[in-house]
Structure 1
Amino acid sequence: MTWAMLGVFIVLMVVGAPLFVSLLAAGLTGFAWIGDPSMLRLMIQQYFGGIDVFTLMAIPFFVLAGTLMNHAGLTDRLLVLCRAVVGFLRGGLGYVNVVASILFAGVNGSAAADSSALGSILIPAMEKDGFTRSYAAGLTAGSSLIGPIIPPSIFMILYGTMTGTSIGGLFVAGIIPGLVLGIAFIGLNWLHAKRNGFQPTGERFSMAALGRAVVYALPALIAPVIILGGIIWGVVTPTESGALAVAYVVIAGLLLTRQLTIRALAASVAETARLSSAIFLIIGAAAVIGWLLSFNQVPQAFASFVLEFAHSPLLVLVILSAITFVIGMFMEEIAALVLLTPVFAPVATAAGIDPFHFGIVMTLNITIALITPPMGACVYIVSAVGRVPLEDLFRTIWPFVVTALVALAVIILVPSITTGLPALFGF
């Protein structure tokens, strides 16, 4: 049954069928293979049961909050702060790119939104500052990977929902790994600036200018505080924090920056509905596949196979990471996460791997696929917004992929990077 489902899925993907259609057709093949017509009712139940989860409501809220920040002018204020902090350094706009991604990550939880919003502004600016357009696009795509790691994170919401892992704990566990990823890209930019003879911009660091930038960016900085503070201290759930973030950004855009219009608000809601519906279609279809895999005991068989050869948690993590990385190169990231998690999570549990540690490793693996050819979504986005030929970007993206993999290796080798904060806050 499993091989028949896989065959149907691959054939439909090759001919260009939408992903959720390919998944549903594979699921229908599996249920037909069982041979009981009454089981088709169960397929429908599994589909709608997969999306009828309260926690998943956080996804459209965080997507909407990030979209509204752009229309409300809050993203521009974050960039002003980033320029004041690191813009004066050699290759300063490269650092601005990374730091802006770190700050923007605290609101939207999406690498695609990050690369689109920041790329349209920073890629032309970096080119004027002496960077090649392909490097600027590559750094924008690479630094956007911080978005799903530093909370909130759409990927973590999905992982936590499927495994029963505390989403608040996953959010807290992602803070330091997200900073590690940011430091890795800062190091890469430092090497690039030094190798190419970049000089400081001539602007001197000023505490007065920094103070003005902080005050100017304060309306934008409050949103991450609302999201993280409420979750860390147990005041609100992730879904409620997303709703509060949306309410705050709307108020800030209407009353503080006064840049958010009713038309922009409506456009943001429409865009959020479009993106969220695509995600939920995939989640529902993948839930059908997940039930069939469990029915066929695929997770148990895979766990027995891996644990027969891997006798240490570290080796298990390396094996699962390698498989995830390869699959992520050729499959849409949300689908890969939803399909692989029910199979891989039991293996990690049996190997004694901390659930927060594995959740972050799994999330980062899936995230790196966003800039890995041939399916990396963020590569296509920055190619479009930065007007960089896709073939050029595919050739120049690999240093950024390697940098992200180095950060992943550090996180795998040092579990306390992910487990320290959750333990500190009692998750």
Structure 2
Amino acid sequence: MVLAILFVFLVHLFLGVPLFISLLLSSFVGFLFIDMGLAVRIMPQQFFSGIDSFALLAIPLFVLGGNLLNASGLTPKLMAFSKSLVGHYKGGLGYVNVTSSVFFAGVNGSAVADTTALGTILVPAMEKEGYSKGFAAGLTAGSSLIGPIIPPSIFMIIYSSLTNVSVGDLFLAGIIPGLILSVIFMLMNWVYAHKHDLKVNEEGFSIRNVLVTGYQALPALFAPLLIVFSIVFGIVTPTESGALIVIYSIIVGLTIGTLNWILLKKAIIESMKLTSAIFIIIAASSILTWVLGYAEVPKDFAKLLTPFIDNITLVLFILSGITFFVGMLMEEVSALVLLTPIFAPIALVAGVDPIHLGIIITMNITIALITPPMGACLYVASAVSKIPLMTMFREILPFIFFALIVLTIVILFPSIVLFLPEIFN
């Protein structure tokens, strides 16, 4: 049955059938092996129950909050602040690219949105500074991985809804891995800048400029702090935090930003399109998850891992490898919804901390965003930088390699992930 489901899914995937339809048809094939009478009752029930979650309501709210902050004209202010901090070094725009991704992570948490916003502005500017267009696009796509790892993160919200792990703990756990990733990409930029002897920004460093740009960017910088600390200290639930950030974004945008009713309407429509796509994938994935559970696929998979169950590190590497491979071929939300219910019980038996597992899964499916052949950020970076897709595939390889190095470090040293949650608990 599993092979039949996999075959049908892959055929539809390569034919370009919309993902949620591929998931529904694959589930239908599964019911052919179980009981078609069940399909009539189970498919509608699971389709609805998969998204009937108060926790998932946080997703459209966080997406809308990020879109409203972007519509308020705060994106250039974040980039200006980044430039005032690190733009004076050799290869300064590369550092600005990575630093801006860190700041953007707290605003929208979307790697694709990060690639689009930064790539449009920074790739041409970096090319003028002496960067090759390929490296500039690769750095933009690579640093966009920071977005879903540093809070807020849509992937972490979905993982939390599937495992009942605290969203606040997951948000805290993602901060240090995200910062490590940013340091690695900055080191890559440092090597490139010195190897190609890029020029130094003549404007130099100015404390006054840092203070001025920092003050202008303060409303956007305050948003992630409002999200994380309101959840961590138990003031609001994640969903309520999402509503809070929407209200905050509207107030900031209408008072000191460029938000108007036209941009507000556009932000709402864009948020509806994105979240409706996410929710319909979650709903369709929930049906396939039920089919696999009914067929006891998780139990069979757990039996395969029984010989390694006493070795936590080996179990994590196996689960990580499977997640990465599936993420390369599937849309990331689907991969997350399908694999988490299977992996979480196995990891629990092996003694893996569920927060640690959540960050590992999040990092894997995030890295898959820049991994051929299905990485969404690769296609966006190729489009905004106007370079051939195959060239983009080649340029991104070093960034994938070093991102996997960071993932390996996170697997080997759980304290990197658990340090902040333990402090605040």
Q: TM-score, normalised by structure 1?
A: 0.97
Native 8 Å contact 1:31 1:43 kept in 2: no
The residue aligned with 1:238 is 238
The residue aligned with 2:225 is 225
CA RMSD across the alignment: 1.3
Letter of the structure 2 residue corresponding to residue 65 of structure 1: G
The residue aligned with 1:396 is 395
Shift of 1:40: 2.0
Native 8 Å contact 2:309 2:349 kept in 1: no
Shift of 1:21: 0.4
The residue aligned with 1:350 is 349
User: 3-state SS of the aligned residue for 1:52?
Assistant: coil
Q: Note the 1:52-131 alignment, pairs <5 A.
A: 52-131=52-131
The residue aligned with 1:338 is 337
In structure 2, distance between residues paired with 1:116 and 1:250: 23
Native 8 Å contact 1:71 1:264 kept in 2: yes
Shift of 1:246: 1.6
Q: Is 1:425 matched with 2:424?
A: yes
Shift of 1:298: 1.0
Structure 1 range deviating more: 152-161 or 241-250:
241-250
The residue aligned with 1:133 is 133
User: 3-state SS of the aligned residue for 1:148?
Assistant: helix
Shift of 1:20: 0.5
Shift of 1:331: 1.4
Q: Is 1:35 matched with 2:35?
A: yes
Letter of the structure 1 residue corresponding to residue 172 of structure 2: V
Structure 1 range deviating more: 149-158 or 120-129:
120-129
Q: Note the 1:246-395 alignment, pairs <5 A.
A: 246-257=246-257, 259-309=258-308, 311-395=310-394
Native 8 Å contact 2:138 2:399 kept in 1: yes
In structure 2, distance between residues paired with 1:2 and 1:319: 19
In structure 1, distance between residues paired with 2:240 and 2:326: 33
Letter of the structure 1 residue corresponding to residue 362 of structure 2: T
Gaps of 5+ in 1: none
Shift of 1:272: 0.9
The residue aligned with 2:207 is 207
Shift of 1:199: 3.1
Letter of the structure 1 residue corresponding to residue 196 of structure 2: N
Identity of aligned residues (%): 53
Letter of the structure 1 residue corresponding to residue 341 of structure 2: P
In structure 1, distance between residues paired with 2:178 and 2:325: 22
In structure 2, distance between residues paired with 1:132 and 1:7: 41
In structure 2, distance between residues paired with 1:164 and 1:351: 18
Shift of 1:48: 0.4
In structure 2, distance between residues paired with 1:237 and 1:309: 37
In structure 2, distance between residues paired with 1:25 and 1:242: 34
The residue aligned with 1:172 is 172
User: 3-state SS of the aligned residue for 2:29?
Assistant: helix
Native 8 Å contact 2:315 2:350 kept in 1: yes
Native 8 Å contact 1:97 1:122 kept in 2: yes
Letter of the structure 2 residue corresponding to residue 307 of structure 1: T
The residue aligned with 1:26 is 26
Letter of the structure 1 residue corresponding to residue 135 of structure 2: Y
Native 8 Å contact 1:307 1:347 kept in 2: no
Native 8 Å contact 1:67 1:113 kept in 2: no
Structure 1 range deviating more: 328-337 or 145-154:
328-337
Native 8 Å contact 2:47 2:286 kept in 1: yes
Moved over 6 A (4+): none
User: 3-state SS of the aligned residue for 1:130?
Assistant: coil
Letter of the structure 1 residue corresponding to residue 186 of structure 2: I
Q: TM-score, normalised by structure 2?
A: 0.97
Letter of the structure 2 residue corresponding to residue 44 of structure 1: P
In structure 2, distance between residues paired with 1:235 and 1:265: 27
Q: Note the 1:9-20 alignment, pairs <5 A.
A: 9-20=9-20
Shift of 1:14: 2.4
In structure 1, distance between residues paired with 2:335 and 2:401: 21
User: 3-state SS of the aligned residue for 2:37?
Assistant: coil
In structure 1, distance between residues paired with 2:222 and 2:422: 25
Shift of 1:36: 4.9
Letter of the structure 2 residue corresponding to residue 329 of structure 1: M
The residue aligned with 1:50 is 50
User: 3-state SS of the aligned residue for 2:218?
Assistant: helix
User: 3-state SS of the aligned residue for 1:176?
Assistant: helix
Gaps of 5+ in 2: none
Letter of the structure 2 residue corresponding to residue 386 of structure 1: S
User: 3-state SS of the aligned residue for 2:374?
Assistant: coil
Native 8 Å contact 1:88 1:203 kept in 2: yes
In structure 2, distance between residues paired with 1:5 and 1:43: 16
